[in-house]
Amino acid sequence: MAQGALEGLRLIEMGQLIAGPFCGQLMADHGAEVIKVEPPKVGDAMRNWGQGIPLWFSVVARNKKSITLNLREKEGQEIVRKLAAKADFLLENFRPGTLEKWNLGWDELHALNEALIMIRVSGYGQSGPYSSRAGYGGIGEAMGGMRYIAGEPDRPPSRAGLSIGDSLAATYACLGALMALNHRHNTGKGQVVDSAIYEAVLAMMESTVPEYTVANHIRERTGSILPKVAPSNVYPTKDGSVLVAGNQDSVWKRMATMMGQPELGDDPRYNSHMARGERQTELDDLIGEWTKTYTSKEVLDLCEQHGVPAGNMYRAPEMLEDPHFAAREAIIAVPHPRHENFKMQNVAPRLSETPGHVDWVGPDLGQHNEEIFGELLGMDSRTMSDLIERGII
């Protein structure tokens, strides 16, 4: 396994798609032994997701071990209890109440292993009037407030082309699990980590709530800018566009000098954060007139020389060509049994002593059945064969 900070810890991953499994990916990246439980024959639905060729599972299930188990059958549930007794964490993202229906709820598992930490990811959390509702990431993004402010002001709400709500809930779940782990170090006892998608999104909503309760202000869609934060926008160039952010007072002064108009740095119309925010459109137009006289590279070079944050909008091809990505190994090649040139993002964040590592892509369905059922749980081959014939594993 990866030489990471979580080496020696075992996590049982139950559930599908992103909101739970991305939490498992983060922990597997840093060395935890993650045993992914999947339905026999069909597996996680994520195995069939992706743009064109289904490749997503190879990333979100990297470093994990796959076993198959029918959780709807009592014998399958009993095997989960045996696994939970030997685990540090159990991660699930079923609709609340599902595990309880299978006699695998917190009370049952905590009685078996009081050190167990149960990580529960769901649309609305484990309590409250909406808890039993089905919840996907997009719904959480809408109810958490993110969707309303995403997009252009003259169009309906938009979205990022990623599953941000799911990934945020999974990231908070991982954070909560590590907090619970420290509590366990102090007390010897585990607890439940309850990560709701809509609350993970809500946590990212900055000061939007007090802006309404105190100032009666509701943020609206503003396209490529943040209101009153200027200059920070995408500006046209001779051959495309670049993103430039000079919204701090000292940076704006350097930017004004870079543009050959140093007097603008002290101009009372622009010399403070509040003043620039009030003249945001005017300032963006002024900067755009300057940037369009240069190529994108020329603007970026000038920004680097003057200490002004700037960058291009990258896609995968630009990332793969960038020397900084290469120097930090932000994207790595990982051997894949069916695909050549398989590259994916590396482990994040970076730890100096225990950096973590990607050892393998998402495993084949049930690839580790013999190892986990035989070696960890001590099943003999005859028992496993019988369970396979009856569709339990």
Specify the residue for token string 């004004």: 256
Judged by DSSP in three states, 284 sits in helix
- Give the integer Cα–Cα distance in Å for 207 and 215: 11
Which residue carries 């006699």 as its tokens?
103
List the catalytic residues: 166
What does the alpha-carbon distance between residue 98 and residue 186 come to, in Å, rounded to a whole number?
Answer: 31
CB 125 within 8 A of CB 196: yes
d(CA 370, CA 377): 10
The closest alpha carbon to 230, from 192, 166, 285, belongs to: 285
Closest to 41 in 3D by CA, of 384, 371, 365, 387:
365
DSSP H helical ranges for the chain:
21-29, 56-60, 74-85, 98-101, 106-112, 137-143, 164-187, 197-202, 208-215, 249-258, 273-278, 280-291, 296-306, 316-321, 323-327, 369, 381-389
Q: What is the DSSP letter of 77?
A: H
Please state, in angstroms and rounded to a whole number, the distance separating the CA atoms of residues 291 and 300.
Answer: 10
Question: Residue 223 region, left (φ>0) first, then alpha (ψ -120 to 50), else beta?
Answer: left
Q: In the structure encoding, which two tokens stand for residue 313, read together?
A: 């909008």
